[in-house]
A = this chain, B = another copy of it.
């Protein structure tokens, strides 16, 4: 608490909290949320923690391990959030899948520029499918379904179908969100820079149908379509159960 003897009384400027793995991971998440994955650098992350990059290697096993840690931490929040019942709502498997789907979607929405990382980093095992790629979460998922009457085979099958669904919908949502949120991505100003074309410098003259439907294609129905597709999926799973 007090200064060690022999130190000048002026070390207030940076009462920097102790470095720790959790603090490093948190800083990495904050950095990526603000600047995007591709700009996260060991050196810049160190800078954001007021430390040289080399100091990070005490807490993180290189850049790959750092990214893996970020993914694990974020996905892990799905089953450790304090305000959730141990196995989710008690109302049956459909309520459980609804609850989990929305939790994952909230995660994707909160970190649109990190979600692609969750979606595409090679999982530790091929059966650990993104975006539910944490052992804890998979354990949670399988127990939840089995405790609600699923056979083991059915639970495994549902895991596969459900992850495919989540990945497709949420990756496209966060790509759209990330595109509009991203800081600039790549200036790159190439060729003749007309660029007052509103949204993008795409040449649509050879693509009349796209041109005509552009307003329809741009409509953001992400919310409604997610709910609709989720309902359809649950209906399908229900049918398969009773077969």
Contact = CB atoms under 8 A, between A and B. Distances in A.
Interface stretch (A21-29, A100-108, A178-186): A178-186
A168 B214 CA distance: 24
B159 A167 contact: no
Contact of A126 (B123, B127, B139, B179): B179
B210 A135 contact: yes
A53 B88 CA distance: 54
Contacts of A169: 164, 168
Interface of A: 61-62, 64-65, 116, 119-120, 122-127, 129-130, 135-136, 138-139, 142-143, 146, 152-153, 155-157, 159-161, 163-169, 171-172, 175-176, 178-180, 182, 185-186, 188, 190, 199-200, 202, 204, 206-210, 212-214, 216-219, 221, 225, 229, 232, 236
12 contacts: A64-B186, A124-B200, A127-B217, A129-B172, A129-B176, A130-B172, A139-B210, A160-B172, A160-B221, A164-B229, A168-B171, A171-B171
